[in-house]
Amino acid sequence: MRKSIFIILAAILIVAPPVSGEEAAEPAAMNPTEEQDNLFAARKWHGGPYFLAGIGPSETVSITNKIATWSYAGCHLFLNLGYWAFDAFGIELGGFINYSYFEDLTVYDYTGLLPVIFGMNKITGIDTHLWDSSFYLSTIVRLPFVNRTDLFNPILRILVGYGISVYWIKHIPASVALQLSTAGYSAKLYWLNLLPDAGWSRRDRFQSDGPVFGFSIGNIFNAFNGREVWYLQLTVLAKMYREVIAVKDGLVLPTKIANFDNIHNNHIVQLHLTAGIRFF
């Protein structure tokens, strides 16, 4: 309890001083265009705090010991709060919120007991939704040894954090359901081998979590003139899952019904192409 109170008080003390005097939070010297606060997007790159957001397509590759599966389609939202210092680098807190759709996902070795030969012990045709969030701390730097202009201002971001992935099975063919039933499948659960038994609803899901590593390369436009700052970036994320949790949906509070080791060594690699603007 004391720890929580300490966290809250610390946050208030951190927040209160700069916003008690707006000049401290957004020094005029660092904000050559002070009227930018009334604009939708910030103009010209300047020091101090900044907030970036963007959207774009994404591609997710699910990799296990047995198979790599590419998502059919995906998109993401990028959020980033940072502090740019000394006109050289930034320290950031951010996240990617991603949706991907897997069509005809193939799951090998669903029993975990039988060998995978001649197409046996394999399930195909499972359409799956994937929602995942990656939260990270990062540092961003301008690429050195380049002549920066308004149209060419490349950056590099290195990030590390933690990610949550949630899978919903959209559709399981009747033949697969029969196969499972025949096999007496009930509790042997692996990554997506976690398949529905009695009482499984469409809102129930599987959640994996684990550390995230990645990097972004991109270009910031209009950083040096008076126009709205925007950027394009390509991000590669690797998510190293530790476990799988079976989640039973509740009205407000979901419940964990089981959790399992990531014995198939399932990981995810994601590519995000992001276009966005600087909001402040």
Which residues here bind other proteins, judged by CB under 8 A? Answer: 1, 3-4, 7-8, 11-12, 15-16, 18-23, 25-26, 34-35, 37-38, 40, 49, 51, 53, 77, 79, 81, 93-95, 97, 131, 133, 135, 162, 164, 166, 203, 205, 207, 209, 245, 247, 249, 251-256, 279-280
Contact 25, 83 (CB under 8 A): no
| Residue 6, helix vs strand vs coil | helix
In the bound state with other proteins, the residue whose beta carbon lies nearer, of 74 and 121, is: 74
In the bound state with other proteins, the residue whose beta carbon lies nearer, of 35 and 144, is: 35
Burial class of residue 144 in the structure, from the number of CB atoms within 10 Å of its CB (0-12 exposed, 13-18 middle, 19+ buried): exposed
CA distance 274 to 280: 18
CA distance 89 to 248: 44
Nearest-approach distance from CB 221 to other proteins, in angstroms: 20
In the bound state with other proteins, the residue whose beta carbon lies nearer, of 185 and 276, is: 276
In the bound state with other proteins, the residue whose beta carbon lies nearer, of 47 and 49, is: 49
In the bound state with other proteins, the residue whose beta carbon lies nearer, of 56 and 121, is: 56
CA distance 59 to 73: 7
Contact 157, 93 (CB under 8 A): no
Contact 123, 176 (CB under 8 A): yes
CA distance 50 to 190: 42
Nearest-approach distance from CB 167 to other proteins, in angstroms: 12
| Structure token digits, residue 4 | 């929580």
Contact 30, 280 (CB under 8 A): no
In the bound state with other proteins, the residue whose beta carbon lies nearer, of 4 and 147, is: 4
Q: Which of 221, 223, 277 is nearest to 32 (CA)?
A: 223
| Structure token digits, residue 219 | 């270009």
Element at 5 (helix H, strand E): helix 2-20
In the bound state with other proteins, the residue whose beta carbon lies nearer, of 215 and 279, is: 279
Nearest-approach distance from CB 217 to other proteins, in angstroms: 23
Q: Which of 155, 173, 162, 179 is nearest to 276 (CA)?
A: 155
Nearest-approach distance from CB 66 to other proteins, in angstroms: 27
Nearest-approach distance from CB 194 to other proteins, in angstroms: 14
In the bound state with other proteins, the residue whose beta carbon lies nearer, of 164 and 271, is: 164
Nearest-approach distance from CB 254 to other proteins, in angstroms: 4
Nearest-approach distance from CB 103 to other proteins, in angstroms: 20
The upper half-sphere exposure of residue 72, i.e. CA atoms within 13 Å in the direction of its Cβ, equals 12
Nearest-approach distance from CB 89 to other proteins, in angstroms: 19
